Amino acid sequence: MNTVENLKGYIVNNLGYNLRLDKVKGREKLPLYIRGAFDFYQGSLMDRKALFAVAKGGQLNTTQLEKQFELIRQAHNATPILVADELPAIVRNRLIQKHINFVVPGKQMYLPALMVDLREVFTKPTEQHEKLLPVAQVILLFHILHKNEKTEAYPFKQWAARLNYTAMAVSQAAENLKALELCNITGTKEKYFVFEKPTQALWKKAETILIDPVQKRVYVDSLPPKMIFPKAGESALPEYTNMNASRQEFRATDKATYYEMVKKQLLVNLNDREGEYCLEVWKYDPTVLGTDSLVDHISLYLSLRHNTDERIQMALGELADLW
């Protein structure tokens, strides 16, 4: 099936609309480079005029798309909806940030012009309302980051020791992961995780329910000596990508350590606006998945994926190629 037929099937399966599409005439109103990049179809969707711009292939740049779609809107007096067979997660995130309508048949619909985010409406109930527990996310990301290790051979007690969690916490994480259909559990006396999907497929399934590891960001003028604060945020990105280092220093700590430092008054000029350091307070220990000097690249991606800075979004595109 071609892209247009896939689009029709996806719409009827999810919305119950039999979408009739007609090839758009009057394409000469548009610049040649736009005509060469898209085929245009029009129809009615949810009782509103819909103009679909079907990508012919090639890489899509969201900054260029924003300008192209404005020209299309002016030429046809309708908000265009991008249709593509494939869109990387980083591109989809950028499109959502820019409020650009798009459909990836079989995967996702985002249509703010219709005042509804169909990605949210038509995912499974667990994906609408559930998120991963922090410890469950640590286990899942550890499995992805250590895909060459036989992590499924680890009994729960080994996971607890390796990640510095209690056995009860690992058991709760197992229930969370199983409920979200990210793993199965085997064993009786000794229990084990079974991740049936390859790591790439597992990432795609979990991507929308993975949590931002950062609970909050605060600012301080100095950090206590002889304590561990790995690079995070914009200070960590240059370690993994071609992005230049920022002036602001970003460091991470877990929330238990943070509140202990607050209690002991170890943080100098603690505030929520400015300081020599931006200290990210994480929902889990950043050194468990990363190192004492640098947070892991997947948690880093999750901590910045909703940042609208174009430089950061470009760097996140590089990060996404690492797993």
- Whether residues 132 and 116 share a domain: the answer is no
- Of 226, 207, 215, 306, nearest in space to 252 by CA: 215
Q: Quick one: pLDDT at residue 16?
A: 63
Which of 59, 90, 122 lies at the terminal end of a domain, its last residue?
Answer: 122
Q: Quick one: pLDDT at residue 68?
A: 92
| Residue at 208 is within a domain | no
- Whether residues 112 and 219 share a domain: the answer is no
Q: Quick one: pLDDT at residue 320?
A: 85
Which of 202, 226, 245 lies at the terminal end of a domain, its last residue?
Answer: 202
Q: Quick one: pLDDT at residue 115?
A: 54
What is the dihedral angle through the alpha carbons of 125, 130, 131, 137, rounded to the nearest 10 degrees? -90
Q: Quick one: pLDDT at residue 144?
A: 96
| Residue at 207 is within a domain | no
Q: Quick one: pLDDT at residue 274?
A: 95
- Structural domain total, the chain: 3
- Of 96, 89, 84, 95, nearest in space to 206 by CA: 89
CATH code of the domain containing 186: 1.10.10.10
| Residue at 135 is within a domain | yes
| Residue at 209 is within a domain | no
| Residue at 186 is within a domain | yes
- Whether residues 11 and 117 share a domain: the answer is yes
φ/ψ of residue 130, rounded to 5: -105, 145
- Whether residues 57 and 163 share a domain: the answer is no
pTM of the predicted model as reported, rounded to 2 decimal places: 0.62
- Whether residues 139 and 234 share a domain: the answer is no
Which of 92, 122, 152 lies at the terminal end of a domain, its last residue?
Answer: 122
- Whether residues 81 and 154 share a domain: the answer is no
Instruction: Please spell the DSSP secondary structure of 186-236, one letter per residue.
Output: E-SSS-EEE--S-HHHHHHHHGGGPPPSEEEEEEESB--TTS---B-HHHH
- Whether residues 61 and 157 share a domain: the answer is no
- Of 204, 261, 212, nearest in space to 88 by CA: 204
CATH code of the domain containing 39: 3.40.1350
- Whether residues 187 and 277 share a domain: the answer is no
Q: Which structure tokens are listed for 92?
A: 């989809």
Q: Quick one: pLDDT at residue 321?
A: 84
Coarse DSSP helix, strand, coil percentages of the chain, rounded to the nearest 5 percent: 45, 20, 35
- Whether residues 310 and 250 share a domain: the answer is yes
* Residues of the chain scoring pLDDT < 50: 116-129
| Residue at 20 is within a domain | yes
| Residue at 55 is within a domain | yes
Contact 252, 315 (CB under 8 A): no
Q: Quick one: pLDDT at residue 119?
A: 47
**Sign of the four-CA dihedral 294, 298, 299, 303:** positive
Domain around 221: 214-322
| Partner residues linked to 55 by β-bridges | 38
| Residue at 118 is within a domain | yes
Q: Quick one: pLDDT at residue 125?
A: 38
Q: Quick one: pLDDT at residue 126?
A: 38
- Whether residues 241 and 189 share a domain: the answer is no
- Whether residues 286 and 179 share a domain: the answer is no
- Whether residues 138 and 116 share a domain: the answer is no
